[in-house]
């Protein structure tokens, strides 16, 4: 039939079939969601407080327990409210001081972004090592940490000694921190911040001319700032570390990660613009924090405070330490929040290379494929703010497969924690002493890693019942592994959100925004900020509220006569049971809300997408074609060099052949490889950049033509002495044959055979 139809008819028929297929997929998807929603709405038996601890108690003992518990509970209540009062006072003082960084380390400012030609509220500071610790070595690789500006202030990466800052300082690295101030500069944009961060990087280069390029660490939203720098100025960057960074906001699993649906249900980016207009051109970060709290209301609205009440004797200091950061709310300009929402949260344009790098960049965009520095990504399965999919999916969006990663000479290492929450990635002392420490250890040897995609696995090593350290292994992975982790990133409902958002934003800008701007003054905007629920509730429990005046004196009397109940008091067990039941009720409501959110989102935008309101644009197709042509040219050039080089090329090539066969590498082998590449001739005479270029080139050759690369070793090593030396070096790095595994041992035997030396 198609053969007799004219061309327009065939195209119309094909489009109709495609629409029907999408509609069928949408119907199946809604059926699955209905099943999940039914599960979420299924009545659950209430978790009633248990009365078991009271059974068998005689009346006199029960009376004693009751009096003891009543005294204890009253005292804990007074201590609880005193801690809340102290937190409120800390909030008030922090606001008066302008919300300075919460770093526990002393620091000195080096570059103030408010004085740059393109002014912004960012600054570069140098962290001073604490008294009694080792001095930093200016020749060691500097660490630069960029914290998130997502409603809160700066300092979460170093607000305790066991932190990212503490780990680097203990190793002797110079540490620099990018801080920011509460109020943005007039007219400040995200691209102004990126320009300031370039200035900061150049300043660190000037201060450490003999050190390797700096490690740049991006926490949460600081991660995409780091990637923008790496994409636009790759020559400034050493290894990049992304901790809980949302680079692919559309990614996630069905039935989980509901926050990514909120922008679509709100109609796009216009609510953020509305809040900024109501703030007289400034968006209040407290709105973002309120959204974060709503993700896990059982914890943030109840469990956090219930823990403080239950553990009123020893929980207050930890609570106050964290609240100082959590309660600091920062502002953004209207242009900044719109850029973030439209380009990242709703548009998801970064991974597709659609974000403009600015007017001074000749129309260029931020292309992640331009990044040449090694990248380490740290995510957690317990993170519901930046789930693993949002932290990792960009890899599958930017690169066609893992072979392309190797061909482009890129090294990407990712690690997924089993359970830690979003904030735990940055603030947990346990994570700092394990994951961040091992990341820092691996960074020292990252240049010895052959390009490719790896998963970092950390295994506890135990001896005599006491933890004696960790074993770290880099395991080769594929893009299919990333897709399996990241979930439904390709669902066409999200491109439909981007198109609806653009239309709604245009209508808002034309008909609503002008009127609101005319009615809003700075005095009204500041009043709205002060009355925000997150600020108001802290003011209400501070000493500014006269009703809190008796609390401090009462708390002092309680501490002097504290009488905690016995641990086996049955009323304490009832109290714990009641707390768990309340949290369970709140979590049930959360599950119901999330199920309806997901179903509503896909019912609206999935249906729109099914009828064609999505798809790849001509610009995206052109960019993909240009990338493919550039890659093909690079591949042809690499193949022409398969027999060029000498001893250095041969050693690197043999190491890559072994690593490719093995599928991964333990850090002990990386250490031996790093020792060769930095301590033995001819590698020791090379610069770090030259070594990395050599590794990238040989990886590309091995990836394209492994057999030709293997056979060409004879041409690279024409002298017998060089063959023996090269093989001995590679064997020393590889370690004993019995530890290699069959694939790697087979490759080593082939190398030996090619070089004329059997095992």
What is the model's pLDDT at position 691?
Answer: 86
With cut-offs at 50, 70 and 90, classify the pLDDT of residue 470: confident
Q: Two tokens at 583?
A: 């949290």
Place of tokens 């000195």: 108
77-135 confidence digits (pLDDT tens):
999 999 999 999 999 999 999 999 999 999 999 999 999 999 999 999 999 999 888 89
Domain range holding 741? Answer: 640-754
Write the burial class of residue 522 (CB in 10 Å: 0-12 exposed, 13-18 middle, 19+ buried).
exposed
Whether 759 shows a pLDDT value over 50: the answer reads no
Taking the C-alpha atoms of residue 143 and residue 168, their distance in angstroms, rounded to an integer, is 7
HSE, CB side, 13 Å, CA atoms: give it for residue 675. Answer: 11
Question: Per the domain annotation, does 29 fall within a domain?
Answer: no
Domain boundary among 444, 467, 491: 491
Whether 463 shows a pLDDT value over 70: the answer reads no
Question: In 150-290, which ranges are E strands?
Answer: 175-180, 215-219, 240-243, 282-284
Mean pLDDT of 693-719: 88
537-558 confidence digits (pLDDT tens):
999 999 999 999 999 999 999 9
Taking the C-alpha atoms of residue 269 and residue 349, their distance in angstroms, rounded to an integer, is 14
CA angle 476, 480, 482 (to 5 degrees): 75
Hey, how many other C-beta atoms are within 10 angstroms of the C-beta on 167? 23
Taking the C-alpha atoms of residue 451 and residue 108, their distance in angstroms, rounded to an integer, is 37
Question: Per the domain annotation, does 336 fall within a domain?
Answer: no
What is the model's pLDDT at position 46?
Answer: 60
Report yes or no: 88 and 543 within 8 Å, Cβ to Cβ.
yes
Mean pLDDT of 702-730: 90
Whether 34 shows a pLDDT value over 80: the answer reads no
Question: Per the domain annotation, does 666 fall within a domain?
Answer: yes
DSSP 441-479: HHHTTGGGSPSEEEEEEEEEEEETTEEEEEEEEEEE--H
Question: Per the domain annotation, does 616 fall within a domain?
Answer: no
Instruction: Name the DSSP class of 208.
Output: -
Question: Per the domain annotation, does 130 fall within a domain?
Answer: yes
With cut-offs at 50, 70 and 90, classify the pLDDT of residue 697: confident
Mean pLDDT of 418-427: 85
What is the model's pLDDT at position 519?
Answer: 93
Domain boundary among 491, 519, 548: 491
Whether 22 shows a pLDDT value over 70: the answer reads no
What is the model's pLDDT at position 289?
Answer: 94
Mean pLDDT of 515-536: 96
Number of domains in the chain: 2
Taking the C-alpha atoms of residue 759 and residue 738, their distance in angstroms, rounded to an integer, is 13
The domain spanning residue 374 has which CATH number?
A: 3.40.50.1820
Report yes or no: 268 and 501 within 8 Å, Cβ to Cβ.
yes
Q: Which residue has the higher pLDDT, 531 or 636?
A: 531
Report yes or no: 665 and 672 within 8 Å, Cβ to Cβ.
no
Question: Per the domain annotation, does 257 fall within a domain?
Answer: no
Strand order in the sheet with 411-417: 107-112, 122-127, 175-180, 143-146, 215-219, 240-243, 375-380, 411-417, 452-463, 466-476, 664-666
Taking the C-alpha atoms of residue 263 and residue 344, their distance in angstroms, rounded to an integer, is 11
Mean pLDDT of 662-674: 82
Question: Per the domain annotation, does 503 fall within a domain?
Answer: no
Write the burial class of residue 58 (CB in 10 Å: 0-12 exposed, 13-18 middle, 19+ buried).
exposed
Place of tokens 């990635």: 425
Percent of the chain with pLDDT over 90: 52
Q: Report the DSSP beta bridge partners of residue 147.
A: none
What is the model's pLDDT at position 157?
Answer: 87
Taking the C-alpha atoms of residue 753 and residue 649, their distance in angstroms, rounded to an integer, is 18
With cut-offs at 50, 70 and 90, classify the pLDDT of residue 472: confident
With cut-offs at 50, 70 and 90, classify the pLDDT of residue 465: very low
pTM of the model: 0.88
Domain boundary among 460, 491, 522: 491
Write the burial class of residue 488 (CB in 10 Å: 0-12 exposed, 13-18 middle, 19+ buried).
middle
What is the model's pLDDT at position 758?
Answer: 42
Question: Per the domain annotation, does 52 fall within a domain?
Answer: no
Residue-averaged pLDDT of the chain: 86
Mean pLDDT of 735-751: 88
Question: Closest Cα to residue 343, out of 357, 360, 355, 335?
Answer: 355
Q: Which residue has the higher pLDDT, 638 or 657?
A: 657
Taking the C-alpha atoms of residue 631 and residue 625, their distance in angstroms, rounded to an integer, is 10
Whether the upstream peptide bond of residue 156 has omega within 30° of 0, thus cis, is no
Q: Which residue has the higher pLDDT, 693 or 538?
A: 538
What are the C-alpha distances in Å from 210 to residues 99, 135, 198, 213, 688?
36, 17, 19, 9, 11
Percent of the chain with pLDDT over 70: 87
Question: Closest Cα to residue 441, out of 658, 177, 668?
Answer: 668
């Amino acid at each position: 039939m198609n053969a007799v139809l004219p061309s327009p008819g065939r195209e119309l028929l094909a489009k109709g079939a495609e629409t029907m297929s999408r509609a069928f997929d949408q119907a199946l998807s809604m059926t699955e969601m209905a099943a999940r929603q039914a599960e979420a709405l299924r009545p659950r038996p209430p978790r009633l407080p248990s009365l078991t601890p009271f059974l068998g108690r005689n009346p006199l003992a029960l009376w004693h327990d009751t009096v003891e518990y009543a005294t204890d509970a009253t005292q804990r209540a007074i201590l609880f409210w005193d801690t809340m009062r102290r937190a409120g006072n800390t909030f008030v003082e922090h606001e008066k001081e302008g919300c300075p960084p919460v770093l526990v380390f002393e620091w000195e400012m080096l570059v103030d972004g408010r004085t740059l030609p393109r002014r912004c509220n960012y600054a570069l500071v140098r962290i001073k090592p604490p008294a009694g610790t080792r001095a930093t070595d200016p020749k060691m690789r500097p660490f630069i940490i960029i914290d998130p500006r997502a409603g809160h202030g700066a300092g979460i990466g170093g607000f305790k000694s066991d932190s990212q800052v503490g780990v680097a300082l203990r190793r002797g690295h110079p540490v620099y921190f990018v801080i920011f101030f509460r109020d943005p500069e007039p007219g400040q944009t995200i691209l102004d911040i990126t320009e300031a961060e370039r200035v900061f990087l150049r300043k660190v280069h000037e201060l450490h001319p003999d050190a390797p390029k700096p490690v740049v660490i991006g926490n949460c939203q600081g991660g995409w700032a780091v990637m923008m720098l790496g994409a636009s100025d790759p020559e400034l960057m050493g290894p990049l570390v992304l901790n809980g960074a949302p680079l692919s906001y559309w990614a996630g699993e069905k039935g989980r990660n509901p926050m990514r649906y909120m922008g679509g249900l709100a109609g796009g980016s216009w609510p953020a613009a509305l809040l900024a207009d109501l703030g007289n051109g400034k968006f209040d970060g407290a709105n973002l924090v309120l959204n974060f709290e709503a993700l896990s209301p059982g914890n943030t609205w109840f469990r956090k405070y219930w823990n403080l009440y239950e553990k009123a004797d020893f929980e207050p200091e930890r609570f106050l330490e964290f609240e100082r950061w959590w309660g600091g709310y920062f502002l953004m300009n209207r242009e900044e929040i719109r850029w973030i929402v439209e380009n990242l949260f709703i548009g998801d344009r970064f991974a597709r290379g659609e974000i403009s790098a600015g007017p001074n960049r000749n129309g260029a965009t931020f292309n992640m494929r331009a990044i040449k520095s090694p990248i380490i990504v740290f995510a957690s399965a317990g993170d519901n703010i930046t789930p693993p999919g949002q932290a990792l999916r960009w890899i599958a969006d930017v690169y066609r497969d893992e072979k392309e990663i190797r061909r482009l000479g890129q090294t990407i290492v990712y690690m997924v924690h089993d359970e830690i929450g979003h904030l735990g990635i940055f603030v947990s002392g346990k994570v700092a002493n394990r994951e961040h420490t091992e990341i820092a250890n691996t960074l020292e040897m990252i240049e010895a890693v052959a390009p490719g995609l790896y998963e970092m696995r950390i295994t506890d090593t135990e001896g005599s019942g006491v933890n004696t350290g960790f074993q770290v292994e880099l395991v080769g992975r594929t893009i299919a592994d990333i897709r399996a982790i990241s979930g439904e990133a390709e669902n066409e409902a999200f491109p439909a959100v981007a198109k609806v958002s653009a239309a709604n934003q245009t209508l808002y800008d034309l008909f609503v925004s002008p009127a609101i701007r005319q009615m809003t003054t700075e005095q009204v905007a500041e009043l709205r900020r002060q009355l925000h629920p997150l600020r108001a509730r802290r003011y209400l429990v501070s000493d500014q509220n006269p009703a809190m005046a008796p609390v401090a004196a009462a708390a002092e009397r309680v501490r002097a006569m504290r009488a905690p109940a016995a641990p086996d008091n049955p009323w304490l067990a009832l109290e714990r049971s009641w707390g768990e039941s309340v949290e369970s009720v709140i979590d049930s409501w959360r599950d119901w809300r999330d199920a309806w959110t997901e179903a509503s989102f896909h019912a609206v935008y999935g249906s729109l997408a099914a009828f064609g309101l999505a798809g790849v644009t001509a610009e995206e197709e052109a960019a993909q074609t240009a990338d493919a042509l550039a890659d093909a040219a690079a591949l042809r050039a690499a193949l022409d060099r398969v027999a060029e080089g000498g001893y250095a090329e041969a050693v690197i090539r043999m190491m890559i052949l072994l690593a490719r066969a093995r599928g991964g590498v333990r850090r002990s082998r990386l250490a031996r490889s790093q020792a060769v590449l930095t301590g033995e001739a001819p590698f020791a005479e090379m610069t770090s950049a030259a070594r990395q270029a050599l590794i990238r080139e040989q990886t590309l050759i091995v990836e394209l033509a492994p057999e030709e690369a293997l056979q060409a070793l004879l041409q690279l090593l024409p002298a017998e002495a060089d063959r023996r030396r090269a093989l001995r070096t590679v064997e020393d790095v590889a370690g004993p044959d019995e530890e290699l595994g069959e694939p790697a041992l087979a490759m080593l035997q082939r190398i030996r055979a090619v070089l004329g030396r059997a095992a």
